[in-house]
Amino acid sequence: MNADKLVLLSGIKPTGEIHIGNYFGAIKQFVELLNDDSHQGFVFIADYHALNFIQDAAEMKRLTRNLARTYIACGLDPERVVLFKQSDVSAHTELAWIFDTITTMPYLMRAHAFKDAEAKNKEIVVGTFNYPMLMAADILLYNASVVPVGQDQKQHIEYARDTAEKFNRIFGETFRLPEPHILLDVAVVPGIDGRKMSKSYENTIPLFASRDEITEAVMGIVTDSSGDRPENVYAIHRLIKTDEELASLYEEHKGKYKALKEALIEDLDTFIAPMRERFEALTTDAEIDEILHKGGALARERAEAKMDEVRRAIGVR
């Protein structure tokens, strides 16, 4: 591992099928940045974050291995990037506790996820309330500088920055402030109903969708636009084709929503097929487990070095 390079870190919760919103919003960015070798990469499976939602051991295992396969199918090379499970590095939860002791309730009550749950009168679990502190620990443990994510994670990165500043102020310079890496164009990838693509809205196009699943999703795109161009179709189409490439197609098929949807199905299938094939062909469970096991050991080494500094700074060592 090269200690001089800037650290890039990102993670995903294993809570369901990965969709093209995850891909274009985050995965594509970090795979590209990591493959040009300019950064040292830590990419992880946020299984303790997912535990707020997935409380079934067999399902947790299945989703975790699938997410590891997803990363690899999307082009991450586990030989060059530290690919690991959050739960394999206990420093994440330890540091989250330390952050809890310098964080106030009103500050956490400003988090979007908490406010949304409150607005819907939902009973929120403590794990969801504390979510931003665990995420701050994820990022700060590795001195991450670059954190590629979608727009919905921006506030969480601000929490990590604020928490680093507060810790540094109280205990002395310890943490580096991370920067979000959010591409404006794909910051919020829309789903088939025009809202943000999200598992919880059931409006996704799965990243490894079969041809039939692609057809079903695209035919379900809501097209109530008043103009000639079905905006919800176009918004997804422009993820895989440039505006110039799409201009003549949309001009030629002005007002013909079915033909435009058929063109999108074709283009999505061409784009997804190679990744889907890689995903399906990928390594056995045992091999995936071995990759995560190795990644866990490397991540632990790095995280423990940071925890040493932290424990000294707070006076427990």
Residue 70 contacts ligand TYM per CB under 6 A:
no
Q: By C-beta, is 21 or 230 nearer to ligand TYM? A: 21
Candidate list 98, 141, 189, 218; residue touching ligand TYM; CB under 6 A = 189
Q: How wide is the angle at C-alpha 43 spanned by C-alphas 39 and 44, nearest 5°?
A: 165
Residues 34-53 that bind ligand TYM (CB under 6 A): 46, 49
Tell me the residue ranges of DSSP E strands in the chain: 6-12, 39-45, 82-85, 146-148, 179-181
Choose the binding region for ligand TYM from 114-122, 163-171, 181-189, 239-247 (rule: CB under 6 A): 181-189
Residue 66 contacts ligand TYM per CB under 6 A:
no
CB 156 within 8 A of CB 133: no
Q: How distant, in Å, are the alpha carbons of 44, 101, 159, 236 from that of 163? A: 21, 11, 6, 36
Candidate list 124, 183, 188, 265; residue touching ligand TYM; CB under 6 A = 188
Crossing angle of helices 285-314 and 91-100, rounded to 10°: 40
Residue 76 contacts ligand TYM per CB under 6 A:
no
Choose the binding region for ligand TYM from 68-76, 93-101, 146-154, 271-279 (rule: CB under 6 A): 146-154
Give burial (CB, 10 Å; 0-12/13-18/19+) of 131: buried
Smallest gap from residue 158 Cβ to ligand TYM (A): 12
Distance CA 258, CA 186 (A): 25
Bridge partner list, 179: 146
Choose the binding region for ligand TYM from 77-85, 190-198, 207-215, 295-303 (rule: CB under 6 A): 190-198
Q: By C-beta, is 10 or 250 nearer to ligand TYM? A: 10
Q: Which three-class secondary structure state does DSSP give residue 40?
A: strand
Q: By C-beta, is 26 or 209 nearer to ligand TYM? A: 26
Q: Which three-class secondary structure state does DSSP give residue 211?
A: helix
Q: By C-beta, is 160 or 264 nearer to ligand TYM? A: 160
Binding site for ligand TYM (CB under 6 A): 9-13, 21-22, 25-26, 46, 49, 135, 138-139, 147, 149-150, 152-153, 156, 186, 188-189, 196-198
